[in-house]
Amino acid sequence: MLLSLREDSLASLDALRAVIPGVLSSPLQLRPLDRTAAEQAIRRPVAKWSEERLGDLRAIEVEQSLIDTLLDQVRQIGGTAPTAEPSSNSNANLVELPLLQLALERLWESEAKAEKPKLQLQTLEQLGGAAGIARQHLDQTLGALPATQRALAIRLFRHLVTATGGKHAWRADDLADEIDADRLAAQQAVQRTFLGRVIERLGRVAATIGAAGRNLFGAERTLIGAAETKAAVSETLDKLAQGKARILRTQPDPRGQGPLFELYHDALARPVLSWVQEARVIEAVSRQRRRAAFALGATALMLAGIAAVLALYQRAVTSEQRAQLQKQQAQL
């Protein structure tokens, strides 16, 4: 029996190894499409759809300039973001099929609204090219996550994507331990000093007050506790690796201890880094606003306290002066 499936789906078949001897022992990797084959992969489905819906193979036009530009932008360049600049790389004649599929689906969604669709270069440029489509895909997928998972995704991507646009594959448990390492180290450091233990207790009080405030005002919790880390990491990774809008994919673990999660495509590395940086800026702005609000609140509270003390002092002085006046009048 021969099964044909995409490489990122192989990990989901690992469960068969325990019940079917020799399964997946003879994989055959298909060669990526070159430019000629990729052009046919664009034109023939459009022609088939045009024939079935409109009765004419050529009813829907596909601009040659669109094909040339798009294939330049999705060519296989190994570990970097899509670009339209010429390259002398030996893989430049091959195309990245997942990125090509994503771009064509987005193009068709935009053009299919017309009575007679036409795949044209102008629409691709309006969408920002293959790189813009990849960024939109990323923004839409991550924007749909709850606030807690978006905050966790920032920490996860720091390990899944390097600063230079490379990618690493991680097991969910290992990744959870890695992102939780700083918290564990901080806990151990706290126990070594008296001041650390005092700060820890103050932190617990602040956390209790914060939780009470969230319950009172119905605010959404944005921090993930220690006991929730592994479950939250697994849930977030699974959500990012599922469905049509996935950002991650799974790979078989050579040790057989569970799937490895990695970035779905190299072309998403730069958009992911950009999104993480933007999320950090937004988080920093929010943190600055909270600090400013706290400082203003503390200042207002301090001024209110000073005003109250001055009022009490003035009342005491007035009362003393009144008492002295009454005493003098009594002596007269």
Q: Is 200 helix (H, G, I), strand (E, B) or coil?
A: helix
Q: Model-level pTM greater than 0.75?
A: no
State the pLDDT at residue 42. Answer: 92
Share of residues in the chain with pLDDT > 70 (%): 77
CB 276 within 8 A of CB 162: no
Cα dihedral 105, 107, 108, 111, rounded to 10, equals: 160
Q: Buried (b) or exposed (e) across 248-275, using 16+ Cβ within 10 A?
A: bbbebeeeeebbbbbbbbbbbbbbbbeb
Task: Provide CB contacts within 8 A for 158, sequence distance 6+.
Answer: 179, 276
DSSP 8-state secondary structure symbol assigned to residue 261? E
270-279 per-position pLDDT tens digit: 888 888 888 7
34 has which bridge partners? 94
203-226 per-position pLDDT tens digit: 666 666 655 555 544 444 444 455
75 has which bridge partners? 95
CA triple 18-24-27, angle to 5 deg: 170
State the pLDDT at residue 96. Answer: 81
Alpha-carbon distance of 140 to 126, in angstroms, equals: 17
76-130 per-position pLDDT tens digit: 754 444 444 444 445 558 888 878 888 898 999 888 877 778 889 999 999 999 8
Which is it for the CA torsion 114, 118, 122, 128, positive or negative? positive
Q: What backbone phi and psi angles, to 5 degrees, belong to 262?
A: -145, 170
Alpha-carbon distance of 167 to 165, in angstroms, equals: 7
CB 79 within 8 A of CB 266: yes
147-158 per-position pLDDT tens digit: 888 888 888 888
37-76 per-position pLDDT tens digit: 999 999 999 999 888 888 888 888 899 999 999 999 888 7
